[in-house]
Chains A and B, each alone.
Chain A
Amino acid sequence: MNPVTKRPESLVDIPTHYCPGCGHSVVHRLIAETMDELDIRKRTICIAPVGCAVFADKYFNCDAIQGAHGRGPAIATGLKRSRPDTIVFSYQGDGDLASIGMAEIVHAAARGENITVIFINNTIYGMTGGQMAPTTLVGQVATTAPKGRNEKLQGNPINVSEMLSQLKSAKYIERVSVDTPQNVMKAKKAIKKAFQNQIDGVGFSFIEVLSICPTNWGVEPLKALEFLRTKMMTQYPLGVFKDEGKKEEGK
């Protein structure tokens, strides 16, 4: 009997520490499948962030570096400019990328670095215990916004994909979600394209993935998915914001 699926070679065969229902594991798998399918595992370098995905350096079966909070795109710049023959991807959460690392991501995009960035947006700081993120929705409760994010005090969430798509040197920007099998398939396609772009030398490719954090949101996974679909997708509509890469053949 032929197996219809197997563990990707690009994922190390160890258990992850992610909470039940968390989207990180799904996205890890999508990246790993992509690395297998594009046969780039042996030349890929993963940049693990600070936050829940800090151990991504252990999970991906490729060379890896763990960097300071928010600095992934700067580290990626150093790696890629020194070794243009490698495939470099920075994996970052919303606190990491949209708060402390906002300068790094904007300027890496502005320079048009030929790198791939996977941005997990779950609207909260996970590792530190559920504090408000720049992406936290208005009204959403966080440990540092116990009455919910107040527009007058804390302003409005940052839509990173829309913002980065204003930059001329950013080539491919898409927002996807991992809430349903269909959306997971779409996310996979986007992630694969973001890596293919790097192989083809297209330039800066950025995938924002809407994800859930049942633990820090304090809800069951199914309720969390409902929140993602009803609330998050309103603030953060899915779609392609920019695509100046190589067009797929036959389409």
Chain B
Amino acid sequence: MAEKELKKGNEALAEGAIRAGCRFFAGYPITPQNEVPEYMSWRQEEVGGAFVQAESEIAAINMIYGAAATGVRAMTSSSSPGVSLKQEGISYMAGADLPCLIVNMMRGGPGLGNIAGAQGDYMQATRGGGNGDYRLIVLAPNSVEELGNFPKLAFELSEKYRVPAMILADGILGQMMEGMSYNFEPVDPKTLPAKPWALGINDGTRAKNMISSYGLAEGELEKMILKRAERYALIERDEVRFEERFTEDAEVVIVAYGISARASMAAVNALRKEGIKVGLLRPITLWPFPTKKIAQLADKCKAMLCAEMSLGQMITDVKLAVNGKIPVHLYAKPGAFFPIAEDIETAVKSILTGKKDFLFNLSDLAEKADNTCHKPENKICKEGTLL
């Protein structure tokens, strides 16, 4: 086993990307990911790559678009509001079938929100985020070690399927330090297979190469999208990754990703000591989502609990997988608030006892809102929901 070194998440990620052969980086300052461009600014120079501090997030992603078109392993990183700005370029890259790596060290939102770690961009990441029908391969590390090792995986998957890849982490992972080691030897970009579609020097042995996302002739775009959908189908079939802990005999399975999975694992360990049968399913790929695995677990356990630093976004995918077979509960920590293992323990116990402690339910909020500021007579819609 490789000797571990103490590293900060953002720096482990940046060095991991360099080791994975990333030779172009463009980014814009935004907390909590500033160590990534700072690291890249000197490290790319060392390895003969290029670093550009872009004038904007939009420019940064479009620089990646240009760089990736030449076949180089290109990357940008940002945090939530910045990633919102990047959606234009991400959509173009998805439409142009360009591999690349986009990192989102999520922070609190919406809007300016705050600079602490959050998980409020799950929907944006897993549904595409920009305009049009597309997906990103989304990897969710839960440790500094995974932050360091996932760039290589992300580039490889992205190039294999020509689908942009995203590492969806959060400010806590980016900012924290822990022991980590790289599980791969540094990649020499010169040894990577040639990309026949890349732009560059045409010695006359090939036709001109074109990179674009448009198909204006009748039926052309549909063909492009359906062809891409075949690759999406392969990804969903072959590239699902997850970690499973104590699920074999679990009555309650916690589903959590990223830093929330760390807190959830602490809760699982504590509950197991009390003899409570609880397990953890940690999706590592958020898209493709471990739908089949969750459906199988739903046949065995009594309930599931999603632990998320959001109002509940991943829970949508969990519910789709469970398909109504068992109840799916939510422990929610929106607003960049760190999930607390003891609260997750209480939430699991609540499920088993039928209480509501630390279980999050939007209809409960509606009731609360009714009793405080919203008078029922002011409601336009009275079918049980607030407008």
Contact = CB atoms under 8 A, between A and B. Distances in A.
Interface in A35-61: 42-43, 45, 47-48, 54, 57-58, 61
B212 A82 contact: no
B63 A78 contact: yes
B26 interface: yes
Contacts of B74: 78, 82
Contacts of A43: 200-202
A48 B202 CA distance: 18
Contact of B88 (A42, A68, A83, A86): A68
Nearest to B202: A42
A71 B62 contact: yes
A64 B58 CA distance: 21
A81 B59 contact: no
B70 A64 contact: no
Nearest to A110: B55
Contact of A66 (B58, B68, B212): B212
B92 A68 contact: yes
A199 interface: no
17 contacts: A45-B199, A47-B66, A58-B210, A63-B209, A65-B69, A68-B62, A71-B88, A74-B59, A74-B60, A77-B26, A77-B52, A78-B64, A78-B69, A81-B52, A81-B67, A86-B70, A107-B55
Contacts of B211: 64-66
A249 interface: no
B168 to A, nearest CB: 23
A98 to B, nearest CB: 16
B200 A63 contact: yes
B89 interface: yes
Contact of A79 (B69, B92, B213, B214): B69
Interface of B: 23-24, 26, 50, 52, 54-56, 58-60, 62-70, 72, 74, 88-89, 92, 96, 199-204, 208-214
A110 to B, nearest CB: 8
Contacts of B67: 78-79, 81-82
Q: Per DSSP, are chain A's interface residues mostly helix, strand or loop, or mixed? A: helix
B221 to A, nearest CB: 14
Interface in A199-234: none
B66 A64 contact: no
Interface string A73-101: 01111111111011000000000000000
B202 A78 contact: no
A79 B70 contact: yes
Interface residues of A, number: 34
A104 to B, nearest CB: 6
Contacts of A62: 202, 208
A63 B202 contact: yes
A75 B65 contact: yes
A43 B199 CA distance: 9
A84 to B, nearest CB: 9
A93 to B, nearest CB: 16
Contact of B65 (A45, A54, A78, A103): A78
B53 to A, nearest CB: 9
Interface of A: 42-43, 45, 47-48, 54, 57-58, 61-68, 71, 74-83, 85-86, 103-104, 106-107, 111
Contacts of B204: 42
Contact of A75 (B50, B56, B62, B213): B62
Contact of B62 (A57, A78, A82, A106): A78
A78 B199 CA distance: 12
B200 A86 contact: yes
A165 to B, nearest CB: 19
A100 to B, nearest CB: 10
A103 B59 contact: yes
Contacts of A48: 212
A75 to B, nearest CB: 4
Given A62-B202, A68-B62, 18 more contacts: A47-B66, A48-B212, A57-B212, A62-B208, A65-B69, A65-B96, A66-B212, A68-B88, A71-B59, A74-B62, A77-B59, A78-B52, A78-B74, A81-B50, A82-B50, A85-B200, A103-B58, A106-B55
A7 B235 CA distance: 46
Which 8 residue pairs across A and B have the least CB separation, nearest first?
A78-B66, A78-B67, A74-B62, A66-B212, A75-B66, A107-B55, A78-B63, A81-B50
Contacts of A77: 26, 52, 59, 63, 66
A63 B208 CA distance: 5
B62 A54 contact: no
Nearest to A77: B63
Contacts of B70: 78-79, 82-83, 86
B72 A64 contact: no
Contact of B210 (A65, A83, A107): A65
Residue among B64, B67, B209 having the largest count of chain A Cβ atoms under 10 Å = B67
A82 B66 contact: yes
B17 to A, nearest CB: 15
B200 A104 contact: no
B209 A76 contact: no
A54 B214 contact: yes
A74 B68 CA distance: 13
A86 to B, nearest CB: 6
B199 A107 contact: no
A240 to B, nearest CB: 27
A117 to B, nearest CB: 14
Nearest to B51: A81
